[in-house]
Amino acid sequence: MKHIISLLMENEAGALSRVAGLFSARAYNIESLTVAPTEDPTLSRMTIVTSGSDQVIEQIIKQLNKLIDVVKVLDLNDGKFIERELMLVKVKATGAFREEMKRMCDIFRGRIIDVADGSFTIELTGSGTKLDAFIESLDKAAILETVRTGASGIGRGDRILKV
Amino acid sequence: MTNPNITGAEILIRCINEEKVKFVFGYPGGAVLHIYDEIYKQNGFKHILVRHEQAAVHAADAYSRATGDVGVALVTSGPGATNAVTGIATAYMDSIPLVIISGQVPVPAIGMDAFQEVDMVGITRPCVKHNFLVKDVKDIAATMKKAFYIAASGRPGPVVVDIPKDITAHFAEYFYPKTVEMRSYNPVLKGHSGQIKKAVKLLLEAKRPMIYTGGGLVLGDGTEELIKLARTLNYPVTNTLMGLGGYPATDKQFLGMLGMHGTYEANMAMQNCDVLIAVGARFDDRVIGNPENFLSQPRTIIHIDVDPSSISKRVKVDVPIVGHVQSVLREMNEILSSDIMANEKKQSNISSWWKQIDEWRNVKSMVYQNSSTVIKPQYVIEKLWEVTKGDAYITSDVGQHQMWAAQYYKFDKPRRWINSGGLGTMGVGLPYAMGCQFADKNAQVACVTGEGSIQMNIQELSTCAQYGLPIKVIMLNNRYLGMVRQWQEFFYENRYSESYMDSLPDFVKLAESYGHVGMKITNPADVEGALKEAFAKKDKFVFMDFITDQDENVFPMIANGKGLSEMILGNDHIAREED
Ligand SMILES: Cc1ncc(C[n+]2csc(CCOP(=O)(O)OP(=O)(O)O)c2C)c(N)n1
């Protein structure tokens, strides 16, 4: 099963490579990983999307906790949470495609952020599944380029990850 | 009031002395010259000059295994650092607390492919508990404090501190912190008392109980409490290869080592028990074999370990207790001594379980056919145990000789059996013996080795000469990479591919060339006398070359991927030989 794991770690050189190294050394899946400093500049917040059996996920959480730089780990799937990802898609916008793309963008509540003679660049945020659905619904021939940030996640209500 | 500024190198030396380190095992080079200059001027710790950086780390590792203190090694950048890596990985696999200081090229040269530059922090990341690159002289003291703290606390392990050369020349005020606070690192010490109560209850209700302990019990100094627990309950005990000495081997409740080359009774009891308590052991592949076979038999498992990630990793556990083994066992003993159930327990008994165990014991899985013409390796170890009165530090290398040492030397005390269990590193034996001899200069120290392994760090004969270490090398010379040959005999139809050790030196002459005593023993009748003679030379390093039976195999054995109940016993083999 897919899990989204959030963690807070010391914002120190090499911290990211410790996490990435752990996943490769122990052959854990890693679908996406995002990291940036938090409002407290000494801490980084990381969101890792991974998958595995319950036993593997339990080990991943334990192994992450074992890293000396890791302050806190939370498996967002243990409760209610919100997942968001940003995607930029450059699509063909010539002839009939021009109207079609505008319409699709509206349906998915995206925004066209760059307009050129033959193309649009669309910005879309949402869960991973929503972004997948958007790509699915586009004519393959129309997609020129895509870039995704990987998921960020946060607990709902008073589920707070903080030191 | 401010302290005068001193160099990074001097700060480093003061930090090491502040930690009351007695020995630093090291080897100099360009990047650590400032540090070596300060070593020259100080008179705190003693620096031990090895002949290869791998041996420096192994010696520091053994020093730690023998004493419980943090071992310290110092190496230069580049090749010095990479030479240390095998030693670091060896210590990491066995959870040994070390601080390894490596030199690094000056900060402005980092990343420029400078002379003798390697990314030490990158190379060692997967085989250290933690590592640091110090980029400011002001950080040296705090980093060293953290390094010692991290190495020794929680589940211990090696910590690398990589220090660029220019940092050791910069000046700063010296201040060594008294304590460490790390919001990201707070190892659990005390076990959950609810879980502990539950565990005691389960233990008391057991019909076929089994106590299984590993290296964690030795490292956590839990032996005394474990003996108390086992004796109160009168339950059988087995130790892993890493855990030998954790429970006295000559005690009647001891079933011997378990696992791939463990005794029949230990493995059968492990397989057939109804309540299993694992203490500082991790159910690894050499111990329980195939986990599916192990789990085919239902049993309730209690697991005490300081590292939560060791629990339910290979085998699902029913009652996990995260905590320091000594304190958890003490709490269990307290409950037992107060609980009326314990008294009841003394009335009730598990005599039918003991009867079953005695039947398994009668299989006599640990036998070999002695000979009057050729020296049997097992016989040498038996005699070694007798001659040293079971009271020596025994280090070993990796191979058949290691298993025979583990099987036939009966360890009654913890921290006496020093070997590379996790990584299985050939070449540890001699530097391990050095570490033990430095730890306890009057002790009897013997290195049980093979002619393959000894040659992986043979240069240390020179170090032993320099420091006058009266180690006894017990080399079981079978002219084969014996363990490899055994597997080839069993699983590759006797195709002995590259497992033959040819062109061996004359070990007696080799030893003598360093000023040591060399002995070659070829006749079984001479074994005991030779050992006595060697150990009588209290201030001499003696290299004993025992020419042993080439074809001897280690039994019992569980083949790779097989289960605990699928042992190959030596008896069958002996019977076949006699036909
Ligand atoms: C550094 C290293 N290389 C290779 C091995 C694989 N290996 C395990 S046991 C063994 C043979 C050891 O031979 P020897 O030291 O003569 O001991 P024996 O088995 O004959 O007692 C080898 C090659 C290892 N464990 N370590």
Q: What is the pLDDT of residues B350-392, one digit of tens each?
A: 999 999 999 999 999 998 999 999 999 999 999 999 999 999 9
User: Above 70 in pLDDT, residue B279?
Assistant: yes
The pLDDT tens digits of the residues spanning B119-141 come to: 999 999 999 999 999 999 999 99
Q: What is the mean pLDDT of residues B269-293?
A: 93
User: Above 80 in pLDDT, residue B286?
Assistant: yes
The pLDDT tens digits of the residues spanning A31-48 come to: 999 999 999 999 999 999
User: Above 80 in pLDDT, residue B2?
Assistant: no
- Nearest atom, ligand 1, residue B451 CA: 16
Q: What does the pLDDT read at residue B579?
A: 41
Contact B217, B223 (CB under 8 A): yes
CA angle, residues A76, A79, A84, in degrees to nearest 5: 45
Confidence of residue B573 (pLDDT cuts 50, 70, 90): low
Closest CB to B309: pick one of A9, A59, A71: A59
Q: What does the pLDDT read at residue B576?
A: 46
Give me the count of residues in chain B: 579
- Are B312 and A18 an interchain contact pair (Cβ–Cβ within 8 Å)? no
Beta strands in B451-570 (DSSP E): 472-477, 517-521, 542-547
What is the count of residue pairs from A and B with beta carbons less than 8 Å apart?
A: 36
Contact B469, B541 (CB under 8 A): yes
Confidence of residue B4 (pLDDT cuts 50, 70, 90): confident
Confidence of residue B189 (pLDDT cuts 50, 70, 90): confident
Q: What does the pLDDT read at residue B223?
A: 98
- With tokens 């030196």, the residue in question is B505
Confidence of residue B114 (pLDDT cuts 50, 70, 90): very high
Q: What does the pLDDT read at residue B578?
A: 44
Q: What does the pLDDT read at residue B501?
A: 86
Cα–Cα distance for residue pair B403/B262, rounded to 1 Å: 9
- With tokens 């669309």, the residue in question is A122
Question: Would an 8 Å CB–CB cutoff place B309 in contact with chain A?
Answer: yes
Backbone angles phi, psi at A8, to 5 degrees: -110, 130
Confidence of residue B343 (pLDDT cuts 50, 70, 90): low
- Which residues are CB-neighbours of B7 under 8 A, at least 6 positions away? B34, B38, B137, B168, B169, B170, B171
The residue contributing the CA closest to ligand 1 atom 4 is B426
User: Above 90 in pLDDT, residue B3?
Assistant: no
Cα–Cα distance for residue pair B117/B288, rounded to 1 Å: 42
Cα–Cα distance for residue pair B25/B291, rounded to 1 Å: 40
Residues 43-82 of B with CB under 8 A from A: none
Confidence of residue B571 (pLDDT cuts 50, 70, 90): low
Q: What is the DSSP string of B358-401?
A: HHHHTT--S-----SSSB-HHHHHHHHHHHTTT-SEEEE-SSHH
User: Which of B149, B283, B309 should be substituted to probe chain A, the one whose Cβ sees the most A Cβ atoms within 10 Å?
Assistant: B309
When comparing pLDDT for B477 and A96, which is higher? B477
Report residue B341 as tokens. Answer: 């159930």
Cα–Cα distance for residue pair A125/A134, rounded to 1 Å: 10
Closest CB to B125: pick one of A17, A59, A65: A17
Confidence of residue B574 (pLDDT cuts 50, 70, 90): low
Q: What is the DSSP string of B220-262?
A: TT-HHHHHHHHHHHT--EEE-TTTTTSS-TTSTTEEEE-STT-
User: Which of A18, A44, A66, A72 should be substituted to probe chain B, the one whose Cβ sees the most B Cβ atoms within 10 Å?
Assistant: A66
When comparing pLDDT for B462 and B349, which is higher? B462
Q: What does the pLDDT read at residue B561?
A: 86
Mean pLDDT across chain B: 95
Q: What does the pLDDT read at residue B116?
A: 97
The pLDDT tens digits of the residues spanning B8-22 come to: 999 999 999 999 999
Report residue B259 as tokens. Answer: 């696992």
Residue to probe by mutation, ligand 1, list B380, B453, B475, most atoms within 8 Å of CB? B453
